[in-house]
């Protein structure tokens, strides 16, 4: 007979979380989760979100900004279903999350009761790295430990665990207590022989170009990418639909963000014979823009820590290794061009701050002139993505986050998670008026936990991105893309948040200047012309 201790499953799990640096639980609980939450430990904080998608989004922002796994507490199948749209962003962003959901009690699950999570481990697939329901209460601590280490292993991502609610008070075997001290360390440094083909290609190239993806920012090796660009005298493009900013946007080598269509992307790279993609997919398209993936005569080499991205790339050779380690090798052993590095930046004309009506470019110019340089930006005004990248300076790691799968409802809760992880950095979230409705309850959580985020609702009375696509597709008279009559100021005030509406450049400048230094969350509804 197993040697039982006085430690319960719940005690063991909380200790595992402690030893792994996890002290926050993001969730929206139900009856199946109460046994886990009762007598909640004093050294933990429960962050209540009013919708499961907000809980995932907030945990994702926290995990990306802190580097720690986010721990999420959902309710059975219904709560999991509500969270799955947000999980699509998390899996594409390679965000380490442990997502738990309460299952009905083992003693009654045979009778198919209400709130039973049928085929629980199948439900969240394929939006998680792993999904599991322990076969016994004794297995629960092992399942949580495995989920943590799986979530943090390359390439990182969310893991799901379904837990019957009568397991938490069961006693565990003595050896389960050893789980809290387990450590799993990952090494991905290549040898010089592995890198030599890339070094040779850079040596032979007459016009190399770098395309950087989110892994560079996630590993905080942006400065190494900057040094490499300077060393090669190479322009740097950011991979299309970028969920993070891997390169300083004010640097002379910054060429911009690539478009998300085959022909248009290849045209941007047409002057180059070698394309080196570091830390991003090849390529994540969005628009239906048929064409050749690469310019004529160009070759491509991908460096990524994600073996699946390397396998699915439709062109080029790939090196699966730690991106930071590869950048170090390239800096030490690679080509060093002499002379002055060219300036690849695109010149822009800035707006005057006057009584003229607002437009997105003016909003970003005003933010650029006022926000501190260490500000973190989140963007879910999807029709303004290219404009933001052109006009807002982002220098430090962790300066920008975007929904990696394009799932709306990400930016508002993620902004709260980022602020929770980095309380000393200002956080600004740009939200479209269409996007805002997907996670509007995040405003309540912002007020409840006093998280001073500035929410800028860019209101053009509809889904601007869909209007753009309707023009591109020549699909006219489409229903469901106009949204009128919503008062975001009153919505925010209903959640207890300070809010105001502006429509001119000078009004926005004054409102944003006040909001960025406020100790409370603030919403600014910026009215722009409908497109």
Distance of CA 445 to the CA centre of its chain: 19
Q: What is the pLDDT of residue 180?
A: 87
Q: What is the pLDDT of residue 150?
A: 96
128 in the same domain as 76: yes
Q: Does residue 340 lie in a domain region?
A: no
Asked if 484 and 367 sit in the same domain, the reply is yes
Last residue of a domain, one of 148, 181, 214: 181
What does the pLDDT average to over 234-260?
96
Task: Answer whether 381's CB lies under 8 Å from 431's CB.
Answer: yes
Structure token digits, residue 270: 């047409």
Q: Is pLDDT of 271 > 60?
A: yes
Q: Is 176 inside any structural domain?
A: yes
- Residue range 60-69: mean pLDDT, rounded: 97
Supply the pLDDT for residue 192.
83
| pLDDT tens digits for range 153-174 | 999 999 999 999 999 999 998 7
3-class state of residue 142 by DSSP: helix
Share of the chain above pLDDT 70, in %: 95
Tell whether 343 is covered by a domain.
no
Is the domain of 254 the same as that of 379?
no
| Digit-coded pLDDT (tens) for 397-433 | 999 999 998 889 999 999 999 999 999 999 999 999 9
| CATH code, 476 | 3.40.50.970
Q: Who wins on pLDDT, 97 or 531? A: 97
Number of neighbours of residue 124 by Cβ within 10 angstroms: 24
Q: pLDDT band for 480, please (50, 70, 90 cuts).
A: low
- Same structural domain, 483 and 404: yes
Average model confidence (pLDDT) across the chain: 92
Are 421 and 494 contained in the same domain? yes
Structural domain for 512, as ranges: 360-527
Return phi, psi of residue 299, to 5°: -115, 160
Q: Report, as residue numbers or ranges, the catalytic residues.
A: 30-31, 33, 52, 75, 286, 406
The last residue of a domain, from among 128, 161, 181: 181
**How many structural domains does the chain have?**
3
Instruction: Please provide the DSSP assignment of 145-193 as one string.
Output: HHHHHHHHSSSP-EEEEEEEGGGTTSEEEGGGGGGGG-------PPPHH
Residues 378 and 428 sit within 8 Å (Cβ to Cβ) = yes
Looking at the domain assignment, is residue 351 inside a domain?
no
Q: Is the domain of 392 the same as that of 515?
A: yes
| pLDDT at position 479 over 80 | no
Is residue 22 included in any domain, yes or no?
yes
* Encoded tokens for 5: 């201790």
3-class SS at 431?
Answer: strand
What does residue 15 show for φ and ψ, rounded to 5 degrees?
-70, -40
Q: Are residues 297 and 377 in the same domain?
A: no
Last residue of a domain, one of 181, 209, 242: 181
Q: What is the 3-state secondary structure (H, E, C) of 377-409?
A: EEEECHHHHHHHHHHCCCCCCCCEEECCCCCCC
Pair (233, 308) in one structural domain: yes
More confident residue, 473 or 130: 130
| One domain, residues 248 and 279 | yes
134 vs 468, more confident: 134
Distance, in Å, from the CA atom of 100 to the CA atom of 121, rounded to the nearest integer, reads 11
End-to-end Cα distance, the chain: 72
Distance of CA 420 to the CA centre of its chain: 15
Lowest pLDDT segment from 38-42, 193-197, 219-223, 472-476: 472-476
In the predicted model, is pLDDT for residue 359 greater than 60? yes
Residues 70 and 98 occupy one common structural domain = yes
Check whether the bond before 55 is cis (ω within 30° of 0): no
116, 159, 181, 411 from 120: Cα distances, Å: 9, 13, 29, 28
> What pLDDT was estimated at residue 289?
86
Q: What are phi and psi of 17, to 5 degrees?
A: -65, -45
Do 199 and 156 lie in a common domain?
A: no
Closest CA to 390 of 366, 365, 411: 365
In a domain, 345, yes or no: no
CATH number of the domain encompassing residue 283:
3.40.50.1220
> Is 70 in the same domain as 166?
yes
* 317: enclosing H helix or E strand: strand 317-320
pLDDT category at 1 given cuts 50, 70, 90 is: very low
Q: Using 50, 70 and 90 to split pLDDT, how confident is the model at 288? A: confident
User: Is the predicted pLDDT of residue 466 greater than 50, yes or no?
Assistant: no
């Amino acid at each position: 007979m197993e040697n039982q201790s006085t430690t319960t499953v719940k005690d063991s799990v909380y200790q595992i979380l402690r030893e792994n640096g996890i002290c926050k639980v993001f969730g929206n609980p139900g009856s199946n989760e109460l046994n886990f939450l009762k007598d909640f430990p004093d050294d933990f904080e429960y962050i209540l979100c009013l919708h499961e998608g907000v809980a995932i989004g907030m945990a994702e922002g926290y995990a990306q900004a802190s580097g720690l796994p986010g721990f999420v507490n959902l309710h059975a199948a219904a709560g999991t279903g509500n969270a799955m749209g947000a999980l699509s962003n998390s899996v594409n962003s390679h965000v380490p999350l442990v997502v738990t959901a309460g299952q009905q009690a083992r003693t009654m699950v045979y009778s198919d009761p209400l709130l039973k999570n049928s085929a629980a481990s199948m439900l969240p697939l394929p939006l998680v790295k792993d999904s599991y329901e322990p076969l016994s209460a004794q297995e629960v601590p092992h399942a949580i430990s495995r989920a943590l280490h799986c979530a943090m292993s390359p390439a990182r991502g969310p893991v799901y665990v379904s837990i019957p609610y009568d397991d938490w008070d069961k006693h565990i075997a003595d050896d389960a207590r050893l789980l809290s001290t387990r450590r799993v360390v990952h090494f991905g440094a290549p040898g010089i022989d592995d890198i030599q083909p890339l070094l040779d290609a850079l040596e032979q190239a007459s016009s190399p170009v770098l395309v950087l993806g989110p892994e560079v920012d996630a590993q905080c090796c942006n400065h190494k990418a900057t040094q490499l660009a300077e060393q090669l005298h190479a322009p740097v493009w950011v991979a299309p639909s970028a969920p993070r900013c891997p390169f300083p946007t004010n640097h002379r080598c910054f060429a911009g963000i690539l478009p998300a269509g085959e022909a248009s992307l290849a045209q941007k790279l047409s002057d180059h014979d070698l394309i080196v993609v570091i830390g991003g997919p090849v390529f994540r398209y969005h628009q239906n823009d048929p064409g050749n993936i690469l310019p004529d005569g160009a070759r491509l080499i991908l460096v990524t820590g994600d073996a699946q991205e390397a396998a699915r790339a439709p062109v080029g050779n790939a090196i699966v290794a730690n991106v930071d380690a590869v950048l170090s090798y390239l800096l030490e052993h690679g080509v060093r061009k002499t002379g002055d590095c060219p300036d690849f930046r695109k010149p822009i004309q800035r707006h005057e701050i006057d009584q003229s009506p607002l437009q997105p470019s003016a909003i970003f110019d005003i933010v650029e002139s006022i926000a501190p340089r260490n500000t973190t930006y989140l963007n879910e005004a999807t029709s303004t993505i290219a404009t933001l990248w052109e006009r807002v300076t982002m220098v430090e790691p962790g300066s920008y986050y975007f929904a990696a799968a394009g799932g709306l409802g990400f930016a508002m809760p993620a902004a709260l998670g980022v602020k929770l992880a980095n309380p000393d950095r200002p956080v600004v979230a740009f939200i479209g008026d269409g996007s805002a409705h997907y996670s509007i309850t995040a405003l309540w959580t912002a007020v409840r936990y006093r998280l001073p985020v500035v929410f800028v609702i860019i209101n053009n009375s509809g889904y601007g991105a869909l209007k753009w696509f309707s023009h591109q597709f020549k699909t006219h008279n489409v229903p469901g893309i106009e949204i009128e009559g919503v008062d975001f100021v009153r919505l925010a005030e209903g959640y207890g948040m300070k809010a105001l509406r502006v429509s001119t450049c000078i009004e926005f400048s004054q409102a944003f200047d006040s909001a960025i230094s406020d100790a409370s969350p603030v919403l600014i509804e910026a009215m722009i012309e409908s497109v």
